[in-house]
Every structure is written in structure tokens, then in C-alpha cells.
Amino acid sequence: MKALVTGSTGCVGANVVAALLRRGYDVRAMHRPTSKLDALEGLEVERVVGDLFDPPSLVRAMEGCDWVFHVAAVSDYWRTPPEVIYRVNVEGTRNVVEAALRAGVRRLIYTSSVGALGVPPEGRLLDESSIFNLPPHRFPYGHSKHLAEEVVQEAVAEGLDAVIVNPAAVMGPRDAHWIGGSVLQEVRQGRAWFAPPGGTCWAAATDVGEGHVLAAERGRTGERYLLGGENLTHRRVLEIVARVVGGREPWITFPRWVMGGLERFVRLTRRFVRFPFSPEQVWLSAREIYCDSGKAVRELGYPQTPFRVAVEEAYRWYRERGWM
């Protein structure tokens, strides 16, 4: 059994590659010609150059593969213009789906996001039945993933065997692009002196990698599987990270009204001032976006590693490379 992984140089993609190798599958890792390959260090895989906007390269990459894991995406939405997010996440997915249909692969596993599920009502958890419920401008990344899921479901209706997975925020090794790992940097350097009032769900990167493979092996066609972990306030996340990396814990939690004012200020001034965060990120950080991974646990056997362990694994990976 052979699998192609797009986005193999990102944290999730590299952990999917590692999980496939642990289970004895042959793996072909697709990356762009300019990609940094640090995340694949130590993984014995076949590498192939491809591009989401070069359809012939996608078909060639899929030749001889039984499964395709489409992980490639823009996930650092706070650093990327919305038009780029939509182009890569929606049109790029459309190109992968069309290539998979042409190549005749047995199964496509699409990496969506909990962002595609919107924001839950207060006191409720997101699950696979949740529907994106925000104005597109409020969260372009989540909206782009919602639209990409629609592309996949249209292909399922045409006969493609596809499964969707929705990872939560991811922490762990092989995060060479500092997505979840940026939290470790902020805390270690003493910049996380305050905590937003909300919270989110954090999944261990190794669990998310395993969850993708389990979805390929056991998932039902056309179904979503939410790959989450611990539901934690932002303050608790920063406290745990500080105890692992040796940084300072936050000394204040801002109320929601302060975050609302900060969001408006960033939105009005970002043309003139460069911020390390986007107004969408500020708004979301004041919400409790918690998840229920029960379906993936029951149907797939999805593991649940504690957040502290995921932080320790990420920190160890960075330290081994002299990055922290």
C-alpha cells in the first residue's frame, strides 16, 4: 500500500508521513521545489516535487498511489492575505480532487480544520455536525476550509472515496514553520505576559498524524472526523508552556471588552502598523472554541495525548536542532 502526502513539509503533513511509516506503508512525500525539508528529517521516504497549481504534476505524483492525504494548505492565516488563503485552500483542493479522480486513487483523506466548523454557542462543544456560522470576513481561513470541504463532498457525490479530518490546534514535533510552536517562542522570550479570555482545543501532532492514517484505514466515506485533544483556556496553555520551556507565566487575563477594543484598533491601523497578529486572531482568542473528539475516538481509535506531553515533544524537537 502506497500513500502520497501533499504538504509533507508542514507539521501535520510530516506527522502523517511519520505515522504512515510507523505502520509499514510506503510513502511518497510531495513538496514544492522551494520547500524547506527540515520537518522530514530522519524519515526515509520517496520525495516528489509538485505544485497544487500544476495539475499534471499532481497526477504524476499520484501515479501508483492507493491513498492521497491532501494536507497542503495555508494555515498561518494571521500572516497571509485572504486572497492567497482562498486560492490555495479552495482552488488548490479542487485541483487535487480532480487529479485524484483522474489518477484513480482508492481513497482521498482531506485535512480540513476545526476552523471549518465555526464557533460554538457559549457552553457548547464543536463536533462533526457543526456548521460554519461566521461572516467570511470574520475568519477567512475557516471559511476557506468550509468551502474546500464542499469541493470534496461534491467529488464524493461523483464517486470519489474521500474522508475528511478536522484537526484542532496542533502542538508537537516537526513544526518547522512555527505554527503551534510560536507559542513556545512567545513564552520563552517573555512576550506572553497577558492571556486572552477565551480558550481552544489543542491536539498532539503525533495524535493528529495517527488520526489521519486511522481515517484512511477505518473512516467512512464522506464522513468528518474531528481530531482534537484537551480543551484549555489560553491562560492554562501559557502556564503549561511556561513550566516546560522555563518562561514566565502570564500575570493578567484580559476581559473580552479589552480584546474587542484591541481588535478594532488593529483593524483600523494595520495598514500603517505591522502587528504580530491579525484582528481575526484577536476576535477568536476571546471565544471558547472547544471540541468533542468522541466520534474519532469511538470509530477510529483516535489517541488522546495530554497537552503537556505534546509541548514537551515539541520543545525537545526544537532543542535537538538548536532552534530554542
Catalytic center residues: 141
105 in Cβ contact with 65 (< 8 Å) = yes
Q: Please state, in angstroms and rounded to a whole number, the distance separating the CA atoms of residues 83 and 72.
A: 16
68 in Cβ contact with 108 (< 8 Å) = yes
Amino acid at 323: W
Map grid coordinates 528529517 to a residue.
41
Give the E-state strand segments of the chain in sequence order.
2-6, 26-31, 46-49, 67-70, 107-111, 162-167, 169-171, 194-195, 199-204, 224-227, 230-233, 252-253, 288-289
Task: Specify the pairing of strand 107-111 against strand 162-167.
Answer: parallel
Q: Please state, in angstroms and rounded to a whole number, the distance separating the CA atoms of residues 70 and 98.
A: 12
